[in-house]
Amino acid sequence: MKKIKFAIIGSGTIGGGVVDLFVSNIDIVKKKTGINFELSLVVDLDDSKLEKPKNYGIKVSKNYKDAIKSDVDIIVELVGGIDFAWNLYNEAILNGKHFVTANKALIADRIYQMFKLARENKKYIGFEASVAGGIPIIKTIKESLLANKIECIEGIINGTTNYILTKMHKEKISFKEALLTAQKLGFAEADPTLDINGTDAASKIAILAAISSNQNIGLKDVYVEGINDIEFIDIKEAEDLGYVIKLIAMFKIDENNNIEIRVNPTLVSLSNPLANINNEYNAVLVAGDFVGKTMYYGRGAGARPTASAVFSDIIDIGNKIAFNKEYNPNLLFIDEENKVKSHEEIYSKYYLRLITEDKVGILAKIAKVMGDNNISISSLIQRDIYKKDGVVPLVFTTHIALEKDFFKAIELIKGFNFVKEIVYYRIID
């Protein structure tokens, strides 16, 4: 039987999951692949984290160089962060190792350089676990949908924020209360900043965009807004209009390969399957020119689902090493440039909620500013029952408009002294 050896660097939550999977299911894997996968070494700086692999009789070390210098075929990086991981990647590839990682920050920072180094050294890299946990979205885009032009991706790819928004919506509670519950139940970390402000989702959509378009897209290219400021009133107004607010990561490419990429709290129409994705679940809607709309759903985090994704990479690479006669650079190419548009160049429908003084003529003035800036109003709701202290909410939805025009209108509306508050979100059907 062919043998493939791998080492794990980083024995935290995910590393522990991969060790569990190895111990529990390696016989299934051997039977199905005909390859004897061997977990040769687990590395961590922290002795306590090496207890589990040690108890299973797996060799451990505190020095990652032991893995680099060993005869393993694949290095599995589960440390996180960019600097150490980038250094490890270079050492691994230059020392003849293939590389598997769950590190979205690393990939979303330097996918072009990573692919280039791998190709030059005829090595494979796998990063299925970097996006959406156990959902096999990377392989689906790279392989199953390869014959399609991927035209659009809309994803709920951050479990923490989806959990919080679901709680706010279903239990009619504030952002703060929902965050506390999420933290109690382990769906949000003690410091949830990178989830809440959209950075985590932005890294992931950058990776999906890069492999869908073969352009060099990274976190820095994504226009990002978080969910920090979402108020319950907007969740309620959205519901009345037939929408639910989700943190949507979006990628779109036009016929000239110009790209729109963004993460925003977004009103999602109830007819969109993403509207039904609740709690900590993730889902990615992928539209290809032939396959049409497809969606992939599951747990986007957690030791066991992520271990499933890590292992699928180990198996894929193991298969290539064991059976290929030559290096297959398949899909390991990314153009150095990208054609990402400024967010002002994109078109969207918008939801706009104003709190204004309750006086005659105000609506006319606002409507004029919108008309003057090519913003066509689709619906308007003014509910006097919400009137309080002489102010009243006005809720608009618009037809498709250019974001630059919309922002210009917003600036002008802000200038009116009768306008007390402005909140806006994008809308997708």
Q: Residue 9 and residue 124: Cα distance in Å, rounded?
A: 17
* In the complex, least distance from residue 20 CB atom to a copy of itself, rounded to whole angstroms: 8
Residue 291 or 377 having the CB closest to a copy of itself: 291
Strand, helix or coil for residue 380: strand
Tell me whether residue 146 or residue 400 sits nearer to a copy of itself (CB atom).
146
Picking from 128, 87, 133, 134, the residue whose alpha carbon sits closest to that of residue 110 is 87
Chain residues 49-108 in contact with a copy of itself, contact rule CB under 8 A: none
The residue within the footprint of a copy of itself, chosen from 61, 90, 121, 144 (CB under 8 A), is: 144
> Which residues, including other chains, have CB under 8 Å from residue 355's CB and lie 6 or more apart?
391, 392, 393, 394, 419, 420, 421
Q: Which two tokens stand for residue 207?
A: 């990776």
Both structure tokens of 10: 């980083």
Single out the residue of 331, 363, 377, 391 in contact with a copy of itself (rule: CB under 8 A): 331
The rounded radius of gyration (Å) of the Cα atoms in the chain is 24
With a CB cutoff of 8 Å and minimum separation 6, the contacts of 6 are: 37, 38, 39, 40, 72, 73, 74, 75, 76, 100, 314, 318
Task: Judge contact between 313 and 129, C-beta under 8 A.
Answer: yes
Nearest partner of 286 among 295, 275, 274, 277, judged by Cα: 295
Catalytic residue (one of 204, 246, 252, 349): 204
Q: Among residues 19, 21, 100, 267, which is the contact residue for a copy of itself, using CB under 8 A?
A: 21
Which of the ranges 7-15, 62-70, 327-335, 387-395 carries the binding residues for a copy of itself, by CB under 8 A? 327-335
Distance of CA 404 to the CA centre of its chain: 25
Binders of a copy of itself among 109-128, rule CB under 8 A? 128
Q: 370-429: which residues touch a copy of itself (CB under 8 A)?
A: none
Contact 266, 428 (CB under 8 A): yes
Tell me which of 55, 63, 96, 146 binds a copy of itself, using CB under 8 A.
146
- Nearest-angstrom CA–CA distance, 342 and 223: 8
Residues 168-207, one symbol each (x = binds a copy of itself by CB under 8 A, - = not), give ----------------------------------------
52 among known catalytic residues: no
Least distance in angstroms from the C-beta of 325 to a copy of itself: 3
CB of 310 to a copy of itself, least distance (A): 9
Contact between 242 and a copy of itself by CB under 8 A: the answer reads no
Our CB check for a copy of itself shows the closer of 33 and 95 to be: 33
Q: Which of residues 203-222 bind a copy of itself (CB under 8 A)?
A: 214
What the block records as the tokens of 392 is: 């009243």
Q: Does 319 bind a copy of itself (CB under 8 A)?
A: yes
Helix (H) or strand (E) holding 111, with range, is: helix 104-120
CA distance 130 to 149: 22
Catalytic residues: 204
List residues binding a copy of itself (CB under 8 A): 17, 20-21, 24-25, 28-29, 31-34, 128, 134-136, 139-140, 143-149, 214, 273, 276-277, 283, 288-299, 302, 304-305, 307-309, 311-312, 315-316, 319-320, 322-326, 328-331
